[in-house]
A and B are shown apart, each in its own frame.
Chain A
Amino acid sequence: MTKPHPKAFLRRAGQLLATASVAAAALAFANAASAQTLTIESWRNDDADVWNTKIIPAFNKKHPNIKVQFKADPPTEYNAALNARLAGGTAGDLITCRPFDASLDLFKKGNLTSVNDVKGIENFSDVAKSAWSTDDGKTTFCMPMASVIHGFVYNKEIFDELKLTPPKTMAEFHAVLDKIKADGKYTPIAMGTADQWEAATMGFQNIGVNYWKGEEGRKALIEGKQKFTDPAYVDVFKELASWAPYMGDGYKSQKYPDTQNLFTLGRAAIYPAGSWDVPIFRKQADFEFDAFAPPVVKAGDKCFISDHTDIAVGINAKSKNVEAAKTFLSWVASPEFAEIYANELPGFFPLSNAKVEVKDPVAAKFVGWRGTCESSIRNSYQILSRGTPNLENELWNVSAQVMNGSMKPEEAAKKAEDGLASWYEPHKK
């Protein structure tokens, strides 16, 4: 068919093959030569710019001879990719730690080292360290970095236009929602259930702390003194179910980025938020926005917030640069790091005892609730997500289903409780 072509093609292909193998060899060599650098594994791909332009240069001012490279995977792929690389021995020197069992598992498998002897660890309280310590609290294996706080962000211009004031109680919250819905121009609540985790964290954990009284309920759940079928928990699911009519068209297939866009385009009034949303809104919203704390159940109730220990950093046990890594961790524990982190990434709040001033007014409002309300962490994270079925996965699933109307609040509570009771002793009764 084509006579002269094949030979020419093969010759060209041969050349390409030769150059490619040389190139591949060169790449492999370059990889080996850069071993003196510290590499950070992270899921915070949103923060890559801040790390590269602010945090790492600040560190290098003090320690010019330690090179640091920030490498991030998308959050949903982080656990899988990290585990694969740890198994293969190719993971970076520094590992960004998820809270509680995911990291505890890494420590138990010998992938993370203890950081008890790293200078600066004394700057953190036991509560701050709890998410990255063994059950007996004796060994800490990651240096705490930041927590995130839940609450509600609202579009101030819409609130002014409709003459609304931020609600303090659930009754007021519903009154506000009704007014926005009655006006008809805006979607009252920006939230979707397609990604499922929004329903569980921005919904269930966000408002739930006020129902189960923060740490009191969280600890009672771990001890088996409370169950998901108790009224407090069923009520949270009931409340979530009541949000459905206020959410946008097609919220069932609305994903997290859609939710963010819905709010930043000015089409929605209230956004159940995590404080990490604040910097993104700063960049994309061209209107003024503010925040209110999760409304309490009844007027006069004490308020609680989900102030969740979210992110820390530990040392890969197989790292060849342990000393340099410890130097870096000590710096992460310093007030200087806390200052940079809190202000470059408003919405991530330092866990160290250092006093840091948060400049972003909305982020400052979030962190200000620490003074007026009591902090707690998400109730599914410590111990309770160790078995099969995994409680956190179950909460995602049932919270989304309750909001979709495909499951009744009582059924959701029962499913979560049954799953837990199937493997967790204190709940087997």
Chain B
Amino acid sequence: MTDLTASQIHSADAVPARSRFPVHIAVFLAPALAIYTLFSIYPLIDTIRLSLYTGDETGARSFVGLQNFQTLLSDSNWSGQFWNAFRNNLIFFLIHMVVQNGIGLGLAMLLSLPRLTGGSVYRTLIFLPTMLSVVIIGFIWQLILNPLWGIAPSLLKAVGLGSLFGPWLGQESTALLTVSLISVWQFVGIPMMLIYAALLNIPDDLLDAATVDGAGPFSVFWFVRLPLILPTLGVVSILTFVANFNAFDLIYAIKGALAGPNFSTDILGTFFYRTFFGFQLQVGSPTMGAAVATAMLIIILLGVLIYLFGVQRRLQRHTF
């Protein structure tokens, strides 16, 4: 509709007769496309190109085709680390999906209750941690969980759970979960806000009608509200996926590039960093690093494609 009227008016307008591509559209698009292509797409393509090369001792590069990827996936020294990072990343993502988006949904439900006093205050305060730098968040939580300072143990003791405390960030079995939960704590505001907005969007008469029909609050949620916010939950999921598979800062800030203990918190971002820039005595390899980066790119694109064609189609809503 829009486009129709717009183009009709164009032809009536002073646009030079039958020029194939209207100048003003080009003018509107040019700055964005130029900056974006130059500083985002080109570097990415250059990285993919680099992944097809290898460097020798002197740094001279030669073309090797897909050999880096073969090394990455079949040489046990590389593939072990790669799949370990991938698996950890997947766990990291699943924890966010369940805990972060679950809590976000719950908070949004509470906040969207009609005539809730102080709703905007809660919203504002709960969203606050999202505004802070990951570096700061990482440091704050390290201090709190620090056995030397003893805040977490004394708080647990105060509620009678003192025996539950452990050096969570340092144990292989709990480190990844702990780091994930810190990240959840920081970013729960985003799903909360998006879902909250979607809930507000549901027309009141729909809910009223359901209530009049005798539906209890639970069935109103399950059969009326949930289906209506499914598209938003889809968007939230894909945002979470992309953000989690790009994550790096928090784990780097808390556990360092070696992502210990025993690589139990190593995700693709830290693996990429270590490979690319090296670590302590390990010399960095730009070409292997580029291969890891390209692999990450492929994983993210695959995830997004699965979402677009497998999930979003069924949700019947178009983002573009």
Q: Which partner residue on chain B sits nearest A422 by CB separation?
A: B77
Is the C-beta of B156 less than 8 angstroms from some C-beta in chain A? no
The reply to whether B57 and A109 form a contact with Cβ atoms under 8 Å apart is yes
Q: Which of A68-85 contact B (CB under 8 A)?
A: 76, 79-80, 83-84
With contact pairs A83-B284, A109-B58, A393-B281 given, residues A248 and B261 touching in the complex (Cβ less than 8 Å) = no
Q: Which residues of A contact B166 (CB under 8 A)?
A: 250
Q: Which residues of B contact A102 (CB under 8 A)?
A: 278, 280-281, 283
The reply to whether B142 and A254 form a contact with Cβ atoms under 8 Å apart is no
The reply to whether A253 and B77 form a contact with Cβ atoms under 8 Å apart is no
Stretch at the interface among A165-173, A303-311, A381-389: A381-389
Q: In the complex, what's the smallest C-beta–C-beta distance from B147 to chain A, in angstroms?
A: 3
The reply to whether B57 and A253 form a contact with Cβ atoms under 8 Å apart is no
| Distance in angstroms between the alpha carbons of A387 and B280 in the assembled complex | 13
In the complex, per-residue mask of B242-268: 1 if CB is within 8 Å of any chain A CB, else 0 = 000000000000011110111100000
Q: Which residues of B contact A101 (CB under 8 A)?
A: 281, 283
Is the C-beta of B127 less than 8 angstroms from some C-beta in chain A? no
Stretch at the interface among A219-227, A325-333, A347-355, A394-402: A394-402
Q: Which residues of B contact A419 (CB under 8 A)?
A: 77
Stretch at the interface among A9-17, A54-62, A192-200, A361-369: A192-200
Is the C-beta of B286 less than 8 angstroms from some C-beta in chain A? yes
Is the C-beta of A404 less than 8 angstroms from some C-beta in chain B? yes
The reply to whether A254 and B77 form a contact with Cβ atoms under 8 Å apart is no
Q: Which of B145, B255, B261, B273 contacts A404 (CB 8 A)?
A: B261
Q: Which of B148, B169, B284 contacts A79 (CB 8 A)?
A: B284
| Distance in angstroms between the alpha carbons of A422 and B284 in the assembled complex | 19
Q: Which partner residue on chain A sits nearest B178 by CB separation?
A: A253
Is the C-beta of A414 less than 8 angstroms from some C-beta in chain B? no
Q: Which of B131-174 contact A (CB under 8 A)?
A: 142, 145-148, 165-172
The reply to whether A404 and B172 form a contact with Cβ atoms under 8 Å apart is yes
Q: Which of A105, A254, A380 contacts B167 (CB 8 A)?
A: A254
Is the C-beta of A100 less than 8 angstroms from some C-beta in chain B? yes
Q: In the complex, what's the smallest C-beta–C-beta distance from B32 to chain A, in angstroms?
A: 16
The reply to whether A393 and B170 form a contact with Cβ atoms under 8 Å apart is no
Q: In the complex, what's the smallest C-beta–C-beta distance from A35 to chain B, in angstroms?
A: 25
Q: Which of A108, A254, A407 contacts B148 (CB 8 A)?
A: A254
Q: Which partner residue on chain A sits nearest B59 by CB separation?
A: A109
Q: Which of A100, A110, A253, A406 contacts B145 (CB 8 A)?
A: A253
The reply to whether A80 and B273 form a contact with Cβ atoms under 8 Å apart is yes
Interface size on B, residues (CB 8 A): 38
Is the C-beta of A47 less than 8 angstroms from some C-beta in chain B? no
| Distance in angstroms between the alpha carbons of A276 and B157 in the assembled complex | 38
Classify the interface of chain B: helix, strand, loop or mixed.
loop
Q: Which of A80, A381, A389 contacts B284 (CB 8 A)?
A: A80
| Distance in angstroms between the alpha carbons of A206 and B73 in the assembled complex | 37
The reply to whether B170 and A252 form a contact with Cβ atoms under 8 Å apart is yes
The reply to whether A396 and B258 form a contact with Cβ atoms under 8 Å apart is yes
Q: Which of A250-288 contact B (CB under 8 A)?
A: 250-255, 258, 261-262
Is the C-beta of B63 less than 8 angstroms from some C-beta in chain A? no
The reply to whether B278 and A83 form a contact with Cβ atoms under 8 Å apart is yes
The reply to whether B258 and A397 form a contact with Cβ atoms under 8 Å apart is yes
Q: Which of A193, A258, A390, A401 contacts B146 (CB 8 A)?
A: A258
Q: Which residues of B contact A79 (CB under 8 A)?
A: 277-280, 284
Q: Which residues of B contact A390 (CB under 8 A)?
A: 279-282
Q: Which of B104-139 contact A (CB under 8 A)?
A: none
| Distance in angstroms between the alpha carbons of A391 and B282 in the assembled complex | 9
Is the C-beta of B307 less than 8 angstroms from some C-beta in chain A? no
Q: Which residues of A contact B282 (CB under 8 A)?
A: 385, 390, 392-393
| Distance in angstroms between the alpha carbons of A396 and B286 in the assembled complex | 24
Is the C-beta of B185 less than 8 angstroms from some C-beta in chain A? no
Q: Which residues of B contact A28 (CB under 8 A)?
A: none
Q: Which of B145, B261, B283 contacts A196 (CB 8 A)?
A: B261
The reply to whether A76 and B260 form a contact with Cβ atoms under 8 Å apart is no
The reply to whether B57 and A392 form a contact with Cβ atoms under 8 Å apart is no
| Distance in angstroms between the alpha carbons of A388 and B273 in the assembled complex | 16
The reply to whether A253 and B260 form a contact with Cβ atoms under 8 Å apart is no
| Distance in angstroms between the alpha carbons of A404 and B261 in the assembled complex | 9
Is the C-beta of A49 less than 8 angstroms from some C-beta in chain B? no
| Distance in angstroms between the alpha carbons of A248 and B167 in the assembled complex | 11
The reply to whether B262 and A105 form a contact with Cβ atoms under 8 Å apart is no
Q: Which residues of B contact A160 (CB under 8 A)?
A: none
Q: Which residues of A contact B142 (CB under 8 A)?
A: 255
Q: Which residues of B contact A407 (CB under 8 A)?
A: 262
Q: Which partner residue on chain B sits nearest A194 by CB separation?
A: B170
| Distance in angstroms between the alpha carbons of A251 and B167 in the assembled complex | 7
Is the C-beta of A136 less than 8 angstroms from some C-beta in chain B? no
B binding-site residues for A, Cβ under 8 Å: 57-59, 75, 77-78, 142, 145-148, 165-172, 255-258, 260-263, 273, 276-284, 286
A-B contact sample (11 more), CB < 8 A, given A380-B281, A393-B282, A404-B261: A76-B257, A80-B277, A102-B280, A194-B167, A248-B147, A249-B147, A250-B167, A251-B167, A392-B282, A397-B261, A406-B262
30 contacts between A and B (CB under 8 A): A76-B257, A80-B257, A80-B278, A101-B283, A102-B278, A102-B281, A108-B58, A109-B58, A194-B167, A195-B256, A196-B256, A249-B167, A250-B147, A250-B148, A251-B167, A253-B147, A253-B168, A254-B146, A255-B142, A380-B281, A381-B281, A385-B282, A388-B75, A389-B77, A392-B282, A396-B260, A400-B261, A404-B171, A407-B262, A419-B77
The 3 A-B residue pairs whose C-beta atoms are closest, nearest first, are: A250-B147, A252-B170, A253-B170
